Amino acid sequence: MPTKLRAAITGVHGWVPETKLTNSDLEKIVDTNDEWIVSRTGIKDRRILRTPNWATSDMCAEAVKGLLEKTGVKPGEIDMIIVATVTGDMVFPDTANTVCDKIGAKNAFGYDINAACSGFLFALATGAQFVQNETYKKVIVVGADMMSSIIDYQDRNTCIIFGDGAGAVLLEAKKDGTGIIDFVLRGDGSGRELLNMKAGGSLHPATAETVANREHYAWQDGKRVYVQAVKGMTSACEEVIRRNKMTIEDVQWVVPHQANMRIITSVAEHLHFPMEKVMLNIEKYGNTTAATLPLCLWEYEKKLSKGDNIILTAFGGGFTWGALYLKWAY
């Protein structure tokens, strides 16, 4: 029986800056300590982009160049690049087009998706449509954020959490039962009050006052976001598992957004899923926003087998959240 054509991840690569920002570095900047950060978030290090004149597009370009090398794809063969980010190089143009230019993807077009920490999930679901509908053959989806460019290093509620990085996947058609099978994507715009960057958009364009008020930084009501993150990721995973007639025992890996180790543990407990099968990179990279999921896939790539049932899940600003079910293709 012919199997349905699906978009599958056929390669993954990541890139993080060399410079580390450790908990002891943060102790010197804000009133915090290693014990509090590790016990409340699970984070020890983050990577911070310090290369002069480098921005999010440069991290994307490094991740994509590595991906092309690994998969043997030439820049000219790429049809489309989608970049999930909230820290694009400029308000406009989009970062995806800059990435196409920097890697020499002359035949590609691209655009950005802004869904904060759920960005990679939303972008992956979007990119998959173009492949599954046979509109394009080679689509690259990147999750990347230079959070250090919008973090207030005087605010201990946020500066201890976030880091910089980029991860990229190649999507191609497969007819062997592997690939992206289903996803649940959700949003609740009222969440904008609890997690946002207030100024710099059309609501509050940059003025001397917005700068003085420190409104060009990411801000969150951490406790309230935390509660919604656990609920949102758990319910999205349950829904995608249920409607694909699976049980949690059928799932080989869960790849959760890396915002707080306690959120991840709580979601795994609610799902009755063993932590050994939960992909983690929060300890060394912190919350890299749109990059957490592809960076996890990149680092766990060697442990994956063809046919593994994998669930990616995320929650972030918007609010946005969801879960995506795929069968690993290689």
Task: Kindly state the tokens that stand for 184.
Answer: 């649940």
What is the Cα–Cα distance from 115 to 315, expressed in whole angstroms? 9
Number of residues this chain uses to bind ligand UT7 (CB under 6 A): 19
How far from 193 is each of 122, 222, 233, CA to CA, in Å? 21, 12, 20
The yes or no reply on residue 56 touching ligand UT7 (CB under 6 A) is no
The yes or no reply on residue 78 touching ligand UT7 (CB under 6 A) is no
Q: In this complex, which beta carbon is closest to ligand UT7, that of residue 11 or of residue 322?
A: 322
Structural contact between residues 95 and 290, judged by C-beta atoms closer than 8 angstroms: no
**Nearest alpha-carbon partner for 257 in 324, 314, 329, 300:** 314
**Binding-site member from 8, 12, 151, 225 for ligand UT7 (CB under 6 A):** 225
Task: Kindly state the tokens that stand for 249.
Answer: 């025992």
**Binding-site member from 156, 198, 270, 277 for ligand UT7 (CB under 6 A):** 156
**Binding-site member from 260, 266, 288, 320 for ligand UT7 (CB under 6 A):** 260
What is the Cα–Cα distance from 110 to 85, expressed in whole angstroms? 13
Q: In this complex, which beta carbon is closest to ligand UT7, that of residue 241 or of residue 263?
A: 263
Kindly write out the interface string for residues 102-141 of this chain, putting x where it contacts ligand UT7 by CB under 6 A and - elsewhere.
---------------x------------------------
What is the Cα–Cα distance from 280 to 304, expressed in whole angstroms? 14
Q: Catalytic: which of 60, 100, 117, 237?
A: 117
What is the Cα–Cα distance from 304 to 254, expressed in whole angstroms? 12
**Binding-site member from 316, 321, 325, 327 for ligand UT7 (CB under 6 A):** 316
The yes or no reply on residue 85 touching ligand UT7 (CB under 6 A) is no
Q: Smallest gap, in angstroms, from Cβ of residue 227 to ligand UT7?
A: 9
The amino acid that residue 277 corresponds to is: K
The yes or no reply on residue 229 touching ligand UT7 (CB under 6 A) is yes
The yes or no reply on residue 41 touching ligand UT7 (CB under 6 A) is yes
| Cβ count within 10 A of residue 208 | 7
Q: In this complex, which beta carbon is closest to ligand UT7, that of residue 83 or of residue 261?
A: 261
Q: Where along the sequence are the contacts to ligand UT7 (CB under 6 A)?
A: 32, 36, 40-41, 117, 156-157, 160, 220, 222-223, 225-226, 229, 259-260, 263, 287, 316
Q: Report the catalytic residues.
A: 117, 257, 287
